[in-house]
Chain A
Amino acid sequence: MIRKAWKSMIIILVLCFLYLPILVLAVYSFTDAANIGTVRGFSLHNYVTLFTTPELVQMIAGTVVLAFVSAFFATILGTLGAIGAFYSKKGMASVINTMNQVPVVNADVVTGFSICILLVVVFGISKDSFIPLVAGHVTLCAPFVFLSVVPKLKQMDSSIYEAALDLGATPFTALIKIVIPQIFPGIVSGFALAVTLSLDDYFVATYTKPATFDTISTYVVNATKGAQTTIKTALWALSTVIFLLVVLFALFMNIRAGKNGQERNGI
């Protein structure tokens, strides 16, 4: 009995440690307090500010568009890379796999800084063209897409590609109609991962973004340094919204995975 109590205590402690900070922020986002600690009345003004201040709305929209565009390109690159590596000869495949590992463990600062040096300084591409920023985010995300597609390829019965060729399909048709549908769940989770990585990124963006453009991360860092309290408190609301979206997304993915599992068990 006592052991059981201990167990639940520890679980509650860990959960508090994980979720209390964001809960505090969420609670305060629904007040008109200007600082954490001074509790005043309930208010939605933070949410109103968040969705009506053009500067904030543009920043959020820009970040989301950037995330989806980069994730799109990263998904194509990562998927093609994974398929290529999978069907390469053994030695080549392990070389590609190892080379893919390096950017994954590499510090984002290094990635961002080196892309800035290469594209902006060496090739002279203007930061205002958004090319360095998108390129940076694609570089950041593609290896992760690669990693989420590879297991699906390994699960796939490798002879189905040959079966498609055998039935008269060209290699391209076999890839599109047979291989891609098999690894599609991996591609989708790779895409989702790429979107969140791009949304999260701070370092690559600071080095490569145009001066007039801000992602949520860079904006939050600048805003918290400044003194504009209305904006600052609006960011509490933004954090809450992002958190809620993430929770919903996670729930959705879990339910879907559960359903698929049941189907596979023949229910």
Chain B
Amino acid sequence: MAHKKKGSQTVVFEKKPYIIGRGNIGGKKESEGPLAACFDQLLDDDMFGEKSWEKAECKMLQTAMERAIHRAKLKKENIDIMLSGDLINQIMTSSFAARDLHIPFLGLYGACSTMTESLVIGSMLIDGGFAQNIMASASSHFCTAERQFRMPVEHGNQRPTSAQWTATAAGAVVLSEKPFSIPEGMRVVRATDATIGKVIDAGIKDANQMGAAMAPSAVDTLLNHLQDTGRAIDYYDLVLTGDLGFIGKDIMTDLLIDAGLNAEKVYAHYDDCGTMLFSKDQDVHGGGSGCGCSAAVFTGKIMQQMEQGKISRILLMSTGALLSTISSFQGESIPGIAHAIALEVE
């Protein structure tokens, strides 16, 4: 009997795992954005002293992880399992980071929903008693994503108004069964429950309309989460989607109000990481996207605000577009997914 399952898609964590460490890193464009102050480290050059974009992304992910381990006052030997994913074929960044770090590794692919996916699975592993300390992380890099999914970086073209900008960023957290190593005066963040999303395909085929492709899955996960837990949207100080961007956020808001949620509450309690990471005048068109977008915003601004007690309850919903380079060429539409994890300050 699955006694930790609630409703149709939600799980409740009895142990309520603690987030005892966090780390993030951002690229050049992120350093020019409104959240620059919320990064542990920012790069002047997105190559990060490496020979290829892929190596640079790998180094960024490792740096974020090491920062998280350091903040948790642990050694990498204390991490039982590392959960990580990215956008490059065969999740190269995460696997190669795991090769260098020598931590037992489970690779994940949830496209841009990976940060929440790793947090959800990590919390489950701790709650099930399979691990004490878990590393949950995700990364993306504008140039690695651009050359894999679109065009060579130096190719000259005009981006459509709905195109989003893949964040060059990585974020990592250490989840733990016990709250040791939390500094005095700092609030502790715990994971309470999570809703696992279904893959929803609204039939969008345009790879430059990611926000619109993912919004229906985010709406579905949120409505199911609220129904399973019996909560209203204003139970949370902030409901945060991963990378719907400016267009997807508007669609999500409209669909939520259409589904019967109170409009004022939706406007007051809902936001999107893709609209926070960059400002509109940074020429990012539809806003930020990529695994690193929600990973960096959550491990930066959001965690800071929670630790300082400015906000106490959030629902993090990283959103992913599960297309591949093959599926778009074969004329398939873009399936979307969104997972949700509820986090609260103790």
Partners in one complex: no
Give B contacts to A, CB under 8 Å. Answer: none
Give A contacts to B, CB under 8 Å. Answer: none
